[in-house]
Structure 1
Amino acid sequence: MKVMWVYAIVACMKTRFSLILLSFCLAVLLLLAGCTTKLEVNNPMQADITYLYEKLPRLHVDFYHATSKADFSKAYHKAMENAESASDLDFYFSLRELVGYAQDSHTAVGLTEGFVAQLSAIPAQFSYVQGAWRLGVVERSHAHLLGSEIIAINDVPIEEVQRRASPLFSHDNEVWLRYYLSQQFNLTNLYTYIGIADSPSLSVNLTLKQRSTDQIHTITLTPVSAKEYGMLSFATWYQAHPETGASNAPYRALLLEENNTLFVQYNVCMSYEEYPLQSFIDEIVSLVTSKSFGRVIVDLRYNSGGDSRLFEPMVDGLAALQTEQGFALDVLIGEGTFSSALMNAMHFRQRTQARLVGTPTGGSLNHYGETAHFTLPNSDIAVSYSTKHFVMDRNYKGTSLVPDVVIEQTVEDILLGKDTVVETLLHSY
């Protein structure tokens, strides 16, 4: 019995060893299968797709922070399969879909002149205002429909169109998605890629609810090339432009003397040789020092970033003067406030007694940034990616920076050429 017992133990150990060895071999096979993601490359498009697939996760500071390697690998396989017969622009959108897995608004795919020349668009542009997509620009024959709510594109509900397009716009919050999407929501090549049109050259039906009557209208728009688009004459709901609205100037100031207010607009976090930013800051600080303003408004609504450090002397200068003089300080933010401009807004919140006023920002408070880029070898397309993770508030639960006072631009004021936010502030005291 003792011999048999020892034999049974040895046999059992051998069986367990065999099972362990088998499990180990299976694990290795599965691991190797998982690593074998590089597919056969048969054309330049597939070569670029593979180059991006291998390079981007290695260079990005934390590519897989919000996605899995398995999902990214699956998307890569799909892109490689489609590239067997893809058009140039289908290939371009497939790159964007891959980059979208970063879920990072700073990581994106650029465009070359060659790809731009192949784009088609309907003669219209959309903006997300007061909780709905609206017609902001259109060919002049449909000018009476400006401000109308967009219900559907080619009979596909606008919410479904946005859902399908979303993966192609790398983003880390919904505000930036809509802001980014509004700049390309008229591309018929996009419509074809997401399956709401059969060809980029076919006419597009827009279903609209008219603002003043709530009547439903369907209009048909014919796509034009990028070159033709720039030659068209459009009707726009920004025809009447408010004095404090968006400006091409990188930074500027207005005296709103009737309201004893200084309005400072900062549109890009850069300094220009012909008028250095520090000179502008010195002039503003000197002006506020010499004149007793009741309110200073700093507008960051249209600033998509640059170098956040450049504007810090303005923050510190106004902080000291506010302590001395006691003026109200309002900092305007919105969907276009992004990256370094958002950081400047937070500097105002942290170092002054300012209120943040407007709507949630396109940038996320805690975000990836400090971008670098690489170029795909065959298409020459540039791909930007984040190299740092900025954490401005570890306890912040949201993404966009939410203002202390929410004031949203209204459709009526846009059409009348009024700045809802500034007008509300000027009449709030």
Structure 2
Amino acid sequence: MRYFALFLTSLVLLTVQPTLAQADTLSSGFATSEELVANGGFESWVDNQPSAWDFWIVGDEKSKENQGLALAPSTDAAVGERAALLQGIGEADTWIILNQNIPVESGSIFHFSGMLRGLDVLSPTGRRWQCQIGIIARSAQGQRINQWLLKPAPGTTDWYSDSRIIQAPPGCASFDLQVVTNGKGRLLVDEVSLRPTRIRGGMKSGLSGAEKRRADLEYLTTTLPMLHIEPFRFTSEAAFDSLAGTIAKECDTLSDLDFTFRLMELVASLDDAHTTLEFAVRPPRLPIQYEFFGDDLRVMLAPKPCADIVGGRVLEIGGKPISDVLGAIRVLIPHETESWIRYRTPRLLRLMAVAEHLGIVSEDGAIDLVVATDRGDRRQCRLDLNLDFKRSDFIFAFPADKAEPLYLSCWDNYWLKYLPDSKTLYVRGVRCREDKQKPMAGFIDQIDEIVDTRPIERFVLDLRYNTGGGSGVFRPLIAAVASHRDAGDIGQCYVITGIATFSAACLNAQEFVDKAGALVVGEAMGNRTDRFGQLNEFSLPYSGLRVRYSTKRFRWGGHDEDMLVPDIPAPLTWQDYSEGRDPAMEAILSDKSRP
């Protein structure tokens, strides 16, 4: 039995769906009349069960004895004569589920909708109800690939409708369409629908390059606003359409490469850092690395022939002032904060396709760089892109005679170190991803053992280079530390954030503040705590360019602020880095505000 992986979501994260007005617009314009849900209006019943639907009670055996009370037809219908009535049993781990499996084709786009009415709905914990309609996308082997939820029915409500436009992700073979409730109260459901849309990605033969570019542009401008959870929250639809219109006029003269970057600019105009346009094939990387320190872009790695410029402040690239180069890259980066611009810019500058688009590659395949050293000298170097380099051929900016600070010492998904001199337990989270070699449950046991056997005056969670993943990975750790904090086993908690703290890591940082009273140290994060996420993607038919888009809005409950601002600012300067210092840890160890 394949059941209810749908609704085991966070108890605090809020999912915001499109408004009913938006849903009606989507439906009328793009859904076809072909209905894929059998008996979605719940008019047909056999032996007290709706036809074409599977019915499960998932929980202990005692709960299953109530099966006859959990589901029944109701004459309180939104449309027609009948609706389905799901009666919550009141047990925390008991789920009442209606399920219908629907074969679909990967890449197809659907209009998904349903109607709900809640009657005194309340979860067993008194907090988060789970009374919703949702879809699980599954592979041919039954593995869950993605999921989508319609708006839940809390408390007592009138009948209401909700809908979404969804796309079957790569590898998807079927949808499990589910109605689920747990806890107490009654849930009425009616008019559950899944219909294909008129959005298609088919290809025609014999088109010119300009015609293919126009077709890709039209597909992008039609599909992205339909699939994104709330495309015009941070920008206007008129501005998006205006830029798209300008690009359409340029299709005859743009090269394929420049057209790619114009589309990248169009997607970036939505100001959702999670919604991006990606290359069909990842372009080669240049043999150089950069990073920002404050407003200065520095060379962090270069081949030995360019050793003189390593550590230098970049003044020119390819004969262009660095300000011009940065301005041209800025419009390509979907962002919500200046921090994310500072993080993403050096990474885009490493891509050959970006360098060619910017016009900083010479005809003979080289890039000329001009930097200023800390002594004020001006140095030049020609980076020959025709040469093959091995790792041993590079010079790194970090001084060889300095010990690496903790934030550079290990790049495992998560690791820890106890600092006896300061009675500090330092935990670094590099990725919000479970480590198969070191499961989080065992890692928490390790923390518990240290707390039980050693004095802990400070607990540090370092998320400054964590670009996200799944926020649930670190949630048990945060809960465990908060419990120790409440029991008086540890002193002040701190969370270190930086320009690369992004997505799930931002939510984890906010959770740590709320649950453990952590102070925020470091720099502003890469995106808002009120943000979009949970990505899906589609490809443009002719170029193969991939568009990744957000399907959910996440907001940390109880906060009006969009950003988590450091309580103790501690930016990493070039002097700090070149001397092997960590200003964030220095600020924490010298902080006198802890009890």
Measured against the shorter chain, the TM-score band is 0.7 to 0.9
Which residue of the partner structure matches residue 294 of structure 2? 130
1:61 equivalent in structure 2: 229
Aligned-residue offset at 1:81: 4.3
Question: In 2 relative to 1, CA 48–232 (structure 1 residues): closer, same or farther, beyond 3 Å?
Answer: farther
Residue 236 of structure 1: aligned partner: 396
SS of residue paired to 2:468? coil
- What is the 5 A alignment of 1:8-407? 42-43=208-209, 44-84=212-252, 86-113=254-281, 115-116=282-283, 119=284, 121=286, 123-187=287-351, 189-194=353-358, 196-197=359-360, 202-211=365-374, 213-224=375-386, 228=388, 233-238=393-398, 240=400, 242-246=404-408, 247-323=410-486, 324-392=488-556, 395-396=560-561, 400-407=563-570
Partner letter of residue 223 of structure 1?
L
Conserved? CA contact 2:306–2:382, under 8 Å: no
8 Å Cα contact 1:120-1:188 kept in structure 2:
yes
- Gap change, CA 1:286 and 1:174, over 3 Å in 2: same
Rounded to whole Å, the distance in 2 between the matches of 1:209 and 1:201 is 25
Q: What is the distance in 1 between the residues matched to 2:385 and 2:243?
A: 30
Q: Is the 2:466–2:501 contact (alpha carbons within 8 Å) kept by the matching residues of 1? A: yes
C-alpha displacement at 1:306, in angstroms? 1.5
Q: CA deviation at 1:381?
A: 2.9
Q: Which of these residues, 410, 417, 429, is aligned with residue 580 of structure 2?
A: 417
Alpha-carbon displacement from aligned partner over 1:306-355 (angstroms, at most 9, x marks no partner): 22122222112111212313412221110111111111111111111211
Query: How far did 1:427 drift?
Result: 5.0
Once the two structures are TM-superposed, the CA of residue 224 in structure 1 deviates from its matched residue by 4.6
User: Aligned in 2, Cα 1:167/1:358: closer, same or farther, shift over 3 Å?
Assistant: same
Q: TM-score, normalised by structure 1?
A: 0.80
Measure the CA separation in 2 of the matches of 1:375 and 1:120. Answer: 23
C-alpha separation in 2, matches of 1:54 and 1:200: 38
Q: Secondary structure at the match of 1:180?
A: helix
Secondary structure in 2 matching 1:102? coil
Question: How far has the Cα of 1:304 moved from its partner?
Answer: 1.0
The answer to whether the 8 Å contact 2:533/2:552 transfers is: yes
8 Å contact kept, 1:338–1:361 = yes
- The one-letter amino acid of 1:51's match is Y
Q: CA deviation at 1:92?
A: 2.6
- The question of whether the paired residues in 1 share the 8 Å contact of 2:279 and 2:545 is answered with yes
> In the superposition, relative to structure 1, how do residues 168 and 178 fare at CA in structure 2: closer, same or farther (>3 Å)?
same
Q: Distance in 1 between matches of 2:405 and 2:559?
A: 38
Whole-Å separation in 1 of the counterparts to 2:220 and 2:467: 26
Partners of 1:156 and 1:298 in 2: CA distance: 41
In structure 1, distance between residues paired with 2:296 and 2:285: 24
Q: Letter of the 1:68 partner, please give it.
A: S
| Alpha carbons of structure 1 residues 133 and 361: separation in structure 2 relative to 1, 3 Å | same
How far 1:198 sits from its partner (Å)?
7.1
- Cα-to-partner distance string for 1:250-299 (whole Å, 9 max, x where unaligned): 11111222322211111111213332222212321232133222222111
RMSD over aligned Cα, in angstroms? 2.7
| Preserved contact between residue 358 and residue 403 of structure 1 (Cα < 8 Å) | yes
Are residues 177 and 130 of structure 1, via their aligned partners in 2, closer, same or farther at CA, if it must alter by over 3 Å? closer
- Residues in 1 aligned to 2:264 and 2:421: alpha-carbon distance in whole angstroms: 49
Which 10-residue stretch deviates more, 365-374 or 51-60? 365-374
Structure 1 residues 140, 423: closer, same or farther in 2, change over 3 A?
farther
Cα contact 1:266–1:303 (8 A) shared by 2: yes
- Answer whether contact 2:271 2:334 (CA < 8 A) is retained: yes
Cα distance change of structure 1 residues 140 and 413 upon mapping to structure 2, 3 Å threshold: farther
CA separation in 1, counterparts of 2:285 and 2:427? 38
Change in 2 beyond 3 A, CA 1:419/1:201 = farther
- 2:331 aligns to what SS in structure 1? helix
Q: Which runs of 5+ in 2 are unaligned?
A: 1-203
Q: Contact 2:521 / 2:588 at 8 angstroms: preserved in 1?
A: no
Q: CA–CA distance in 2 between the matches of 1:99 and 1:132?
A: 27
- 1:73 to 1:340, Cα distance in 2 relative to 1, 3 A: same
Check conservation: 1:368, 1:387, Cα contact below 8 A: yes
- Cα pair 1:191 1:200 within 8 Å, conserved: no
SS at structure 2 position matched to 1:391: strand
With 371-380 and 74-83 compared, the bigger mean Cα shift is at 74-83
1:33 aligns with none
Q: CA–CA distance in 2 between the matches of 1:337 and 1:110? A: 21
* 1:363 counterpart letter in structure 2: N
Q: Tell me by how many angstroms 1:105 deviates.
A: 0.5
Q: Secondary structure at the match of 1:93?
A: helix
The alignment partner of 1:218 has SS state of strand
CA-to-aligned-CA distance 1:191-225 (integer Å, 9 cap, x gap): 4434x5476754333222211x1122233323358
CA contact (8 A) 2:459 2:493 kept: yes
Identity within the alignment, %: 27
> Corresponding residue for 2:155?
none
Matched AA of 2:571? E
More helix by share: 1
Q: Shift of residue 75 of structure 1?
A: 2.6
3-state DSSP class of the match of 2:566? coil
Aligned residues: 380
**Residue 405 (structure 1) shift:** 0.5
Q: Write the distance in 1 (CA, Å) between the matches of 2:448 and 2:308.
A: 45
SS at match of 1:258: coil
| Letter in structure 2 aligned against 1:420 | P
